[in-house]
Amino acid sequence: MFLTLFQPTRNKSFALVKYLFRLVRKDVRPILILPKGSLGLEDGLSFGRMISRISNDRSSAVLGFAENFSQAVHFCKEIRSGALGHAGRELPIFVDVTRLALGPESEDLEEAILGLGENWSRIFPLTCFLEIGRDSSRLEEASGRTSLFRISSLVMERKGKDWRSLKSEKKDEDPYGDWTYELISDLLPDRGD
């Protein structure tokens, strides 16, 4: 299942840390991937410290930077293979994935994500795309957001202090049979955020 959260402003990083804290409390290891160069050195260190504080004995958030989508996918698979221990449940969170280059094998973002295949869906039943910034002057980012909308089962957008659902697809089979649906309410922010 693909989940996309649109957040129109960049000054909401505290909300992101709250999402991660909720996930770690549920014994889920978030694998957070940001585009390389998206944070300056000082901001990166500060963000890394915040993330290290939300870890517990059973689970911890992992922070990584990638130049392109292929590199981000490889990073997630390395984590899942046990390079940093086993957590049982991992959740890849791609922050501003539309700002990542795609790599040599893919023509567009939708194709790249759908090309991950069954193996990806089996090891990562839920993948979250968190789009924080919006820049309508960059056509490739607008195209990427359209792709995310098409492939996601649930799309939410922040409007002021509230969130609204832009799209919600229910599966034919029982959606409450797997752990991903249980996490959606914890991943989405409170009304008062």
Q: Per-10-residue mean pLDDT for the chain, 193 residues long?
A: 76 67 82 82 72 74 88 89 72 88 74 88 89 67 83 83 78 56 64 46
Say what the pTM is.
0.82
Q: Where are the domains of the chain?
A: 1-66, 92-192
Going by the DSSP 8-state scheme, the letter that residue 68 receives in this structure is B
d(CA 130, CA 138): 18
Other C-beta atoms within 10 Å of 33: how many? 25
Question: Given this model, what pLDDT does residue 58 score?
Answer: 72
Length of the chain equals 193
Question: Given this model, what pLDDT does residue 45 score?
Answer: 74
What sign for the dihedral angle of Cα 59, 112, 183, 159? positive
From the number of C-beta atoms within 10 Å of its C-beta (0-12, 13-18, 19+), residue 88 rates as exposed
Q: Which of 36, 15, 19 has the alpha carbon at shortest distance from 28?
A: 19
Question: Given this model, what pLDDT does residue 192 score?
Answer: 47
Q: What are phi and psi of 173, to 5 degrees?
A: -80, 170
> In the chain, where do the E strands start and end?
2-6, 29-35, 62-66, 90-95, 127-131, 154-159, 162-168
Q: Which of 94, 91, 97 has the alpha carbon at shortest distance from 30?
A: 91
d(CA 59, CA 85): 10
Question: Given this model, what pLDDT does residue 168 score?
Answer: 82
The answer for residues whose C-beta is within 8 angstroms of residue 171's C-beta and 6 or more apart is 153
Question: Given this model, what pLDDT does residue 176 score?
Answer: 46
